[in-house]
Each structure stands twice: as C-alpha cells, then as structure tokens.
Amino acid sequence: MVFCMQSMTPAVIVSAVLCLGATGHAAMPEVTSPKRPADPLYGPPFVTCKAWVIANEQTGEILAGENQDEQRNPASITKIMTALIVLRLAEQSPDVWNETVTFTEKADKTPGSTSAVRTGESLSVRELLYGLLLPSGNDASVAFAEHFGPRLAKEEESGYDAFIRTMCETALQLGMNQTSYRNPHGLTKEGHLTTAADMIKLTRKAMEYETFRETVSTRRHLALVKSPEGGKREITWKNTNRFLDQEGYLGVKTGTTGAAGACLVSCAERRGQRLILVVLGASSSDARYVDSRNLYRWTWNEIANDSSDE
C-alpha cells in the first residue's frame, strides 16, 4: 500500500500512521480474553500454597482442603516420620533413649539445615531428637538412620537403606498410600513424595507420643555434646516454627526446599478442640504462616463452631 503524503492533510497522516503502526504494517486490533469471574465472598481464604488440608486432631476427620491428595515434595516435614521410627523403637525398649549416637562424617557432611554436631561427637538419642526437630537437623536424620538402621536391616541390606525401607513400610501401615521416602531428611530426590492428606495421618500418629509433643512444642533447647577426647560442648537449638511465639499453637514441623516450596505442619487448639493443618508449597517462609493463620481462622469461624475471639 502506497500513500502520497503531500496530498494528505495532517489529520489524515496521523490516522494513517496509527493504522500502520511502528513497523509500517497494518496494526492488528487488540484481542482481550474474557474476564475471570468475580471473587466469591464466601469460602476459604485465598492462599499462596499449592495444597492444604485441615483435620480434627482427635478423630482425623478432614474438615476442608485443596489439592490434599496431590503428590508433592515434602522437604523437612519428612522428619516427622524419621522421629516416629525412633519413637516406636523407644516404645519397644525405653533404654533406647539413653543410647549414644556418634556422628559419622557422612552425617556431618549432609547438606542443608543442620544440628551442627561434628564428626566424632556424640549425644543421647533423647537429646538428638531435639536436634532433629527444632533446627531441622538434616545431619541428625542421617545419624539416626545410621544408628538404628543396622537393627532393622535384612540380609545384605545397609543400615541406612533399612531405615528408609522402614519409613516406607510404616507409611503403608498408616494408610499413607501416596507417600514414598528416599531419605530421612527430605532433601529433593526423585520419588520422595507425599500428600497433605497423608501428612495428617502421620502427624496424628506422632502426636500420640508425649515425647514428640514435648519436643515439637519446645522453643529453645540447650544440649551438651561429647567430643571424641571426652570434652563437652554446648549447642543451642532454636525451633524454626514461629507459631510457638503465639498462644494456642502447639508446634509441629517446618520444611523448605526449592522443589517443595515453604511447607508447614502445625497443630492448634481453641476451647479444647485441636486441629492439624498441613500447608505445602507456600510461596515463602512468611507466606506459610499467613496462609496457615488465615485457614485456621476461617476454620474456627465457619467449620469448627468457634466464632469467639478468645
């Protein structure tokens, strides 16, 4: 198409330029997609997490959820199962709590969050449970697997592998049919998956143990570790669960990796009723707490028949 600019008025020239666009080609009309429906005024709050579920702690009844049966990376909430294996062994033989766990180089060099116990240092099983659950000790999970695995092993099976197998078998016993483990800490690995609904089943079982409840509700714990030479060193473990700073929250476990996002399993109580909430794949560490608080508040008001502001 050819225009003779000299024969065109200024208004016509401007109109032609607008029609042709910057490239000299005829401009295409803008196509807009239909608007999404307006936000509903009722129902659960908007959250950043990819999956969530909330349940009655006593009965296990699912009260509400979204994508709760979708398999996702669990990050360090894996350690609830690691702890459960230890709890069950100690239930069979209470002397287990006084056994000494010595950290190997493999445990010490485990990447990610750490209890900061060094190679060759040792401490009791009971003390190490704090190191597993408060600072989210990836190294502590490996130390537990290496310590207890040999007594769980079958022929020609390494102790570490036996511990992971026991985690998987325990998941099936609890009806966690969409869960599979590849390590005791939750660092990303193919096939290491769970669902929010399965985490309810696991957490309810772990919360049956007083030792677990006491540990996950502890905000700060001072431990003494023994060196190979016989000396002692103090370590302070602080719980990564910010909810413990607020009345009504009873703990359980945080977890974060790039693949999993920010995860949080928590337990809260009002008027004698306890709920367990699992949030998987929140957009940030801060977001998992905002998501959880909003979901708890909505549940107390709309589902759990607790509309009072205590």
Give me the active site residues, please: 76, 79, 136
- The secondary structure of the chain, three-state, reads CCCCHHHCCHHHHHHHHHHHCCCCCCCCCCCCCCCCCCCCCCCCCCCCCCEEEEEECCCCCEEEEECCCCCECCHHHHHHHHHHHHHHHHHHCHHHHHCEEECCHHHHCCCCCCCCCCCCCEEEHHHHHHHHHCCCCHHHHHHHHHHHHHHHCCCCCCHHHHHHHHHHHHHHHCCCCCCECCCCCCCCCCCCEECHHHHHHHHHHHCCCHHHHHHHCCCEEEEEEECCCCCEEEEEEECCCHHHHCCCEEEEEEEEECCCEEEEEEEEEECCEEEEEEEEEECCHHHHHHHHHHHHHHHHHHCCCCCCCC
Q: Judge contact between 74 and 281, C-beta under 8 A.
A: no
d(CA 283, CA 148): 36
Residue 205 annotated in ligand binding: no
Annotated binding site for substrate: 253
Annotated binding site: 253
